[in-house]
Amino acid sequence: MYNSLDDFFKDFKIESENTLKVFQHLTNESLSKKVYPEGRTLGRIAWHIVTSIPESFQQIGLKLECPDHSLPPPKVVSEFSYAYETCVHLLVENLKKNFTDEDLNKEFEFYGEKLLLKDILYGFIKHEIHHRAQMIVLMRQASLTVPGIYGPSKEEWKEYGMEPQE
């Protein structure tokens, strides 16, 4: 849980940098990859991560000038990174401008539930981590190199002069 907005900002900085690392390992060709016919593509999941920022925070009154989920995902990887970085920046700036640490214990209507702001922020981070992990699995299945997030990936072990673990 977060006891201050700065706690959230520090956590979100780390997690958003990790999400950008994943986005930057995508290729334009990989954006349309599906593992099974009914599944989301890598591009659709990445776009969901981007568009969930304005969608989620409009629930608590923030209007962020970010892409809407109804728009089709871009076809170029760099556009995902740009849109994501823009939304992250706007979110942080708007939270700083509109909320204080005291607001963390204030209840908000959030998708039909009453939740404390600190719980909304915590859930938002976990939501992004969840979808980023989905992307990493699909990236492996699409034979893409994946970045290490909370430790080295298989490919990064060699950079440390070590053999990848089984």
Please write the tens of the pLDDT for every residue from 26-75. 999 999 988 778 888 999 999 999 999 999 999 999 999 999 888 999 99
DSSP string across 104-144: GGSEEEETTEEEEHHHHHHHHHHHHHHHHHHHHHHHHHTT-
CB atoms within 10 A of CB 142: 20
In a 10 Å sphere around its CB, with 0-12 CB exposed, 13-18 middle and 19+ buried, how is residue 134 labelled? middle
User: pLDDT band for position 130 (50/70/90)?
Assistant: very high
Provide the pLDDT for residue 157: 84
Q: Confirm or reject CATH 3.40.50.150 for domain 5-160, answering yes or no.
A: no
* CA dist., res. 67 & res. 52, Å (int): 9
Cβ count near 49 (within 10 Å): 23
Share of the chain above pLDDT 70, in %: 100
What pLDDT, on a 0 to 100 scale, did the predictor assign at position 36? 79
- Measured in whole angstroms, how far is the alpha carbon of residue 116 from the centre of its chain? 21
Task: Concatenate the DSSP letters of all residues of 28-84 into one string.
Answer: TGGGG--SSTTSPPHHHHHHHHHHHHHHHHHTTT-------TTSPPPSSHHHHHHHH
Whole-prediction pTM value?
A: 0.93
Single out the residue of 138, 146, 147 nearest to residue 33, CA to CA: 138
Q: What is the mean pLDDT of the chain?
A: 94
